[in-house]
Structure 1
Amino acid sequence: MKTISFAIPCYNSAEYMDKCIESILACGGAQGTDDIEIIIVDDGSAKDNTAEKADEWRARHPGVIKAVHQENGGHGQAVNTGLANATGLYFKVVDSDDWLDRRAMEDVMAYVRSQVGRQAPTDLVIANYVYEKVHENTRTVMHYRNVFPEGREFGWADVGHFNPSQYLLMHSVIYRTELLRGMGLQLPKHTFYVDNIFVYVPLPHVKTIYYLDVDMYRYFIGREDQSVNESVMMSRIDQQLRVTRIMIDAVQLPSGVAEKRLERYMENYLSMMMCICSIFLRMINTDEAEDEREAIWAYLKQHNPDVYRHVRRSVLNMGTNIPTKAGRAIGITGYHVAQKIFKFN
């Protein structure tokens, strides 16, 4: 068994995938890469030589790198394929235009290696991520030192208060592989924003956590075609709505969560998802978009009325759903203020 499997979903990624792969190979450190596995998932790339590059990397590093080719199924299906092919104790997704910090990974690898052979390895390992706005030459570190204890394994009862800008993203988490398999995690095909499902749905299955206050993951942001680009998000609002409905259905709050602090965190995460849906539908500003906004709130109310009451009255959503043109303007303005403060998009 490998210590950790890194899955890299690649779709027409030839321009930047090398940097990503090289950063993961460097994670081996002095111990080398024998216990590391890199699974390059070529998701039906057709516009460049991603497939050939994947095969070249596999040939250069046999026993470390796998190249898996599939028909285009989207980011979620590429993650599914990576998980299906993983042999590591732990599983980490790294998007092909992002990279891992070598110094930070020395600490991360030391910890995950310490879990090999344990009867009950830690379920979830968390570290910081960094928004890398390369074109602006700026970076913003997203840490959790005010939320999680350091230097020891802990559970949800030990977790502190998340600030409004602090959420667990795919970038910051490393799951125990068998936890994901055991709960039957499957992400939908041909759908963007499935990383929200990846970091939300497994949480009730997590019993033990370890946090390292190191800047592990470098999240490239700023390309015009990126899925978090504002205009792109509006064009793909149907997929944001689909992901949000899947999250509503996947975990029934509060009955599906044993720990109160986890319940509160998941409720806040759902509030954020509902806020994003509402804001972008109001930006689209058509009668159809307004119908969709009302429909997603009706869906939450029907499927989880207790959470609906809390989420609808949350600070995030009171302003985003005020009726009338003035209410729409207030909601959008609030979103753009948050955008500047938290440095996303």
Structure 2
Amino acid sequence: MGKILTIVVPTYNAEKYLRDNLESFDIPELLQDIEVLIINDGSTDHSVDIAREYEARYPDTYRVITKGNGGHGSGINCGIAHARGTYFKVVDADDWVGKDAFVSLVKTLKATDADVVYSGFLWTYDHGEADKAAFQTKAEIAIPFEGVAYQKIYPFDEIADKLYMKMHNMTIKTEILRGHQIQIDEHCYYVDTEYITYPIPYVNTICFVDAFVYYYRLGREGQSVGMDKMQKNEQNYDKVLASLLHFYQQLGQEIPCTQARKQYIARIIARVIAGKFKIMLSFPPSAEKKQQMKQYDKHLKEQYRDIYDSNINKAVLLLRKTQYHTYYLANMLVRRTYW
């Protein structure tokens, strides 16, 4: 019997969290419908031993694939190559899914033919509590958009201007990824945005599940979204941004794309650029850094006007409105917030 869903778990030295992740998929009524690919990305801890336990217990559901270290994007690429499910979802090794919500997602996948199925996620703050049930949670996006009809299949272009979809929200047809040879940058952080952006030109339909499926763990030591890590890995961030801008230039030319989807992609990239501004503002203030920001913004306005105009970040809007006279104030606020 074919699998309706492949869950890909890119795994690198995640022994502290991996059991929670894999256990969350151990739902007897779903085991025949799903496969869980644990992509062991050259781990040197006991991650692969934990993964093998589940593979031995449920060989028709859990599968371990070991490869050399290539980063998060490499794990996704490997998952795309090996997936056997009709749909495809990435769940990072330190995250997990909620049982009832996950059951609802799988039931929807079995009943729909939408290219993408969108479900909710919760920020989950890990402050070291022994029981995950004690973690504080918060929905970044409470509803997909005002007036959404759950389970209805929408033409993507019809609601693209209302929508923002993160990796944690997205379950997508495997054939879209494999058939269009979607490839994510390897040996690089911050590639989630590539994964949610590159398939969009080929997404014609979407439906929505009224459930918070994904628990996104925040607060763990060494997380790449911490500001100290983002400063250290600024070149990685810039590499991803450059890849996204190159992709954007191809839309409507080498890559067929409707105007609605191109505008949706412009809004995604505008959010990534706001993140770049946040990183630049997190460094000690200087006239040189201020000038770099102004020059970058000028280049963006001249070369990528649609992306420039798609910005909704208040700090970036204020910097532009004041011709960067508020640079030092913005710098102080960012550094006070993140340090």
Same fold by TM-score, threshold 0.5 exceeded?
yes
- Residues 99 and 218 in structure 1, CA contact (< 8 A), matched pair in contact too: yes
1:145 Cα deviation from its structure 2 partner: 4.4
Q: 1:34 maps to which residue?
A: 32
TM value normalised by structure 1: 0.84
The amino acid of 1:146's aligned partner reads E
Secondary structure (helix, strand or coil) at the match of 2:24 reads helix
Residues 187 and 313 from structure 1, CA distance in 2 versus in 1: closer, same or farther, beyond 3 angstroms?
A: closer
Whichever residue aligns with residue 151 of structure 1, its letter is Q
Distance 1:155 1:110 in 2: 21
Q: Contact 2:96–2:216 at 8 Å: present in 1 too?
A: yes
Distance in 1, matches of 2:13 and 2:312, equals: 42
Q: Does 1:11 align with 2:7?
A: no
CA drift at 1:152: 1.0
Q: Deviations over 1:78-102 (max 9, x none)?
A: 1111111100000000001111111
Q: Does 1:122 align with 2:120?
A: no
Kindly indicate whether the alpha-carbon contact (under 8 Å) linking 1:144 and 1:213 is maintained by their aligned counterparts in 2.
Answer: no
1:318-329 paired onto structure 2 within 5 Å: 318-320=317-319, 326-329=326-329
- 2:157–2:204 CA contact under 8 A, matched in 1: no
SS of corresponding position for 2:208: strand
- 1:8–1:41 contact (8 Å) kept in structure 2: yes
1:184 shift after superposition: 1.1
% identity of equivalent residues: 24
Query: 1:262-277 residue pairs with structure 2 within 5 A?
Result: 262-277=261-276
Equivalent position of 2:280 in the other structure = 281
Matched, 1:153 2:153: yes
Deviation at 1:69, TM superposition (A): 0.6
Cα distance change of structure 1 residues 225 and 334 upon mapping to structure 2, 3 Å threshold: closer
Instruction: Give the Å deviation of 1:19.
Output: 0.8
Q: Does the Cα contact within 8 Å between 1:4 and 1:91 map onto a contact in 2?
A: yes
Q: Which whole-Å CA distance do the structure 2 matches of 1:213 and 1:158 have between them?
A: 19
Matching residue within 80, 88, 108 for 1:111: 108
- Residues 10 and 291 (structure 1), Cα distance of their counterparts in 2 relative to 1, 3 Å cut: farther
Q: Structure 1: which amino acid aligns with 2:23?
A: E
Question: Which secondary structure does the structure 2 equivalent of 1:111 belong to?
Answer: helix
Which of 129-138 and 78-87 deviates more?
129-138
Q: Deviations over 1:283-327 (max 9, x none)?
A: 12467866764675466457x433255247975523356666741
Matches within 5 A, 1:205-244: 205-244=202-241
Residue 267 of structure 2 contacts residue 311 of structure 2 at CA under 8 Å; is this kept in 1?
no
Alpha-carbon distance in 2 for matches of 1:313, 1:216: 27
Cross-structure match for 2:47? 50
Offset of 1:238 from its aligned partner?
Answer: 0.9
Task: Give the paired residue count.
Answer: 325
State the Cα distance separating 1:334 from its structure 2 match.
6.9
- 1:176 is aligned to 2:173: yes
Across the aligned residues of Structure 1 and Structure 2, the Cα RMSD in angstroms comes to: 2.9
Per-residue CA deviation, residues 202-242 of structure 1 (Å, 9 max, x unaligned), is: 11210010101211101110113111112111111111111
Superimposed CA distance per residue, residues 15-34 of structure 1 (whole angstroms, 9 cap, x where no aligned partner) = 110111111222xx53x412
Q: 1:156 to 1:334 in 2, by over 3 A?
A: farther
* Runs of 5+ consecutive residues of structure 1 not aligned to the other structure: 116-120, 340-344
Q: Does 1:317 align with 2:324?
A: no
